[in-house]
């Protein structure tokens, strides 16, 4: 699947670690918190972690970082597993949960207390904040900082036994309240939380904090390279401190820049809000930047993988244009999608010199791949073409239909527009045309050139299908910069319309993606489409240089 890997700073580090003998193999992990659905930003991390493991013949674990029962749910665990699998990655036997390590983590906390490296603090959250200092002022020691080991042990035990309400005490690592790195100013490592955990139920009422859990989880799994995003750079000294104090296997944490995509938001909080406040249908709404939304939209997994490969990985804050993703989608779909014809905004055409009969024309399913075979298209005297393909007073650069002009009907004849029929409002409602019946499958014998080619359907045979046209969810390039990102939602992100399609479209199955020639790629909606009432989602438009010329 992948050929020459692109060099990047992470591979460089791994190469050095392997060369120096610091590690003998490569073990990575993708560690989502099950508090929401995966999005395209997670895809970058998944492709990176699983890709690196595959490239170095190592392994990659899927580990749920479920240390905060207040926000996490089983539903998310299942959705995440589905998405990672769909993206094409396999964790094999290596499925883990932070919650499986709770007992070990608790023992390690006790060990730290015994070593005089952790203490129970009984300040309130407000007092702790006040004593933490600021970016420019050092913090001050907690009055509880010098409690005896015995007292700490006893209090921590009682915390575990549920003898205190939430927030009454907290276990802190004893490091340095004056450290310029805020994360080292005696970070909280265990808090009291009387909450039901989706996997451990009511067994625990104290839960480890991220900093006290993540590195140890990596260590237990013998992870060699723990890849995370830039904001954890400041946590690395803490990460290293814990594994050093505990004397356990030390993985190397490496930070990279998370993905930012134009015209979309990536924070789970905001995505959750879009769902709960019904700005979109659901987590898998085709407008969502979630993996499940993109899947439903018709984006192939390979396109997402190619995209992640293409954007690279670095440490600088990057901003990727949505068009890069869309190009990746077209790249895959162009090769795989069968072609069909459908008219979105119909304009009637009558071929006046064509007899009252039905002809069966042959059309290739894919112009560049004859092995995909042909399909049959019914052709008759009355057709529909796209309104956009006719102009009453066309400019010179427009080479579609106009009064007296000729155009090729794709896979059929060349026609000339003789008359334009309008209704009482002056609206063009019908075109009277003549077909050159000698041009089926060949160019005019007299050598005249007809540059325009338009798509069409036979009026009597066309099938009506529901079509959903999706556009970017936000109107502003960076919705996070708006005062309120909800204010810049694109009101036209979804347009529902009926299209008239060639009969062959009805044989498409759920999940199939087809190209409506000259219009775009469309897939059968996995939720709402039925044989009786088909629903197609527009995956992405075709590139349209004419639109730019206009």
> Is residue 334 a contact residue for RNA (CB under 7 A)?
yes
Pick from 103, 114, 163, 321 the residue near RNA by CB under 7 A.
321
Pick from 149, 182, 429, 506 the residue near RNA by CB under 7 A.
182
Q: How far is the CB of 297 from RNA (least distance, A)?
A: 18
> Is residue 518 a contact residue for RNA (CB under 7 A)?
yes
Q: How far is the CB of 533 from RNA (least distance, A)?
A: 26
What is the distance between the alpha carbons of residues 43 and 146, in angstroms, rounded to a whole number? 46
> Is residue 187 a contact residue for RNA (CB under 7 A)?
yes
What is the distance between the alpha carbons of residues 438 and 193, in angstroms, rounded to a whole number? 81
| Residue 33 is a catalytic residue | yes
> Is residue 273 a contact residue for RNA (CB under 7 A)?
no
DSSP secondary structure code for residue 283 in this structure: T
Q: Which residue in 341, 346, 379 sits closest to 519, CA to CA?
A: 341
Q: Which residue in 205, 204, 206, 232 sits closest to 218, CA to CA?
A: 232
The neighbour count for residue 121, using CB atoms within 10 Å, is 23
Q: Is the separation of the CB atoms in 82 and 283 below 8 Å? A: no
Catalytic-labelled residue, pool 174, 191, 268, 305: 268
| Residue 296 is a catalytic residue | no
Of the pair 91, 379, the CB lying nearest RNA is at 379
> Is residue 441 a contact residue for RNA (CB under 7 A)?
yes
Region 88-127 residues binding RNA, contact defined as CB under 7 A: 123-125
Pick from 28, 45, 49, 67 the residue near RNA by CB under 7 A.
67
> Is residue 412 a contact residue for RNA (CB under 7 A)?
yes
Of the pair 130, 244, the CB lying nearest RNA is at 130
> Is residue 20 a contact residue for RNA (CB under 7 A)?
no
Region 200-219 residues binding RNA, contact defined as CB under 7 A: 207, 209-211, 214
What is the distance between the alpha carbons of residues 114 and 108, in angstroms, rounded to a whole number? 10
At 29, is the secondary structure helix, strand, or coil? strand
> Is residue 134 a contact residue for RNA (CB under 7 A)?
yes
Q: Is the separation of the CB atoms in 521 and 540 below 8 Å? A: yes
Of the pair 45, 292, the CB lying nearest RNA is at 45
What is the distance between the alpha carbons of residues 187 and 175, in angstroms, rounded to a whole number? 8
Pick from 28, 49, 142, 183 the residue near RNA by CB under 7 A.
183
Pick from 231, 356, 371, 483 the residue near RNA by CB under 7 A.
231
Region 141-180 residues binding RNA, contact defined as CB under 7 A: 166-167, 170, 180
Q: Which residue in 414, 415, 383 sits closest to 501, CA to CA?
A: 383
| Residue 410 is a catalytic residue | no
Cα angle: 541, vertex 41, 65; to 5 degrees: 145
Pick from 311, 372, 482, 486 the residue near RNA by CB under 7 A.
311
Q: Is the separation of the CB atoms in 123 and 143 below 8 Å? A: yes
What is the distance between the alpha carbons of residues 350 and 431, in angstroms, rounded to a whole number? 6
The set of catalytic residues is 33, 258, 268
């Amino acid at each position: 699947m992948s050929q020459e890997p692109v060099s990047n700073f992470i591979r460089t580090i791994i190469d050095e670690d392997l060369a120096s003998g610091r590690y003998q193999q490569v073990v990575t992990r993708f560690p989502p918190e099950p508090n929401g659905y995966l999005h395209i930003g997670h895809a970058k991390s998944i492709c990176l972690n699983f890709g690196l493991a595959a490239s170095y013949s190592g392994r990659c674990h899927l580990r749920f970082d479920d240390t905060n029962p207040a926000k996490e749910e089983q539903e998310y665990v299942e959705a995440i597993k589905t998405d990672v699998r769909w993206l094409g990655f396999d964790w094999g036997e290596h499925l883990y949960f932070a919650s499986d390590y709770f007992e070990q983590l608790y023992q390690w906390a006790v060990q730290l207390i015994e070593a005089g490296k952790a203490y129970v603090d009984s300040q309130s959250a407000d007092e702790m904040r006040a004593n933490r200092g600021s970016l420019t002022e050092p913090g001050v020691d907690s009055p509880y900082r010098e409690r005896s080991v015995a007292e700490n042990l006893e209090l921590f035990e009682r915390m575990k036994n549920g003898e205190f309400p939430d927030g009454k005490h907290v276990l802190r690592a004893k490091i340095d309240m004056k450290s310029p790195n805020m994360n080292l100013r005696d970070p909280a490592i265990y808090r009291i939380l009387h909450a039901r955990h989706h996997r451990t139920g009511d067994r625990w009422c104290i839960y480890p904090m991220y900093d006290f859990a993540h590195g140890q989880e990596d260590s237990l799994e013998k992870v060699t390279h723990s890849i995370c995003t830039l904001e954890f750079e400041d946590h690395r000294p803490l990460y290293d401190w814990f594994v050093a104090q505990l004397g356990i296997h030390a993985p190397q944490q490496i930070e990279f820049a998370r993905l930012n995509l134009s015209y979309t938001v990536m924070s789970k909080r905001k995505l959750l809000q879009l769902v709960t406040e019904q700005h979109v249908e659901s987590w898998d709404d085709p407008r969502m930047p979630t993996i499940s939304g993109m899947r439903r939209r018709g984006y192939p997994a390979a396109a997402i993988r190619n995209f992640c490969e293409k954007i690279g990985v670095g440490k600088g804050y990057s901003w990727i244009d949505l068009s890069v993703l869309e190009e990746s989608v077209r790249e895959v779909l162009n090769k795989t999608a069968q072609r069909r014809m459908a008219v979105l905004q119909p304009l009637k055409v009558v071929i006046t010199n064509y007899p009252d009969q039905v002809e069966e024309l042959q059309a290739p399913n894919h112009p560049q791949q004859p092995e995909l075979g042909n399909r049959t298209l019914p052709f008759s005297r009355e057709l529909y073409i796209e309104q956009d393909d006719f102009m009453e007073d066309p400019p010179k650069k427009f080479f579609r239909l106009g009064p007296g002009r000729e155009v090729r009907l794709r896979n059929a004849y060349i026609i000339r527009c003789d008359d334009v029929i309008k209704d009482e409002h002056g609206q063009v409602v019908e075109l009277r045309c003549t077909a050159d019946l000698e041009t089926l499958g060949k160019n005019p014998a007299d050598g005249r050139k007809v540059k325009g080619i338009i798509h069409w359907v036979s009026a009597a045979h066309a099938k009506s299908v529901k079509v959903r046209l999706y556009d970017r969810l936000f109107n502003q390039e960076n919705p996070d910069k708006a005062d309120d990102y909800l204010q810049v939602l694109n009101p036209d992100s979804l347009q529902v319309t009926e299209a008239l399609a060639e009969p062959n479209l009805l044989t498409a199955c759920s999940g199939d993606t087809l190209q409506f020639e000259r219009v775009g790629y469309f897939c059968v909606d996995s939720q709402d489409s039925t044989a009786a009432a088909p629903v197609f989602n527009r995956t992405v438009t075709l590139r349209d240089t004419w639109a730019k010329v206009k």
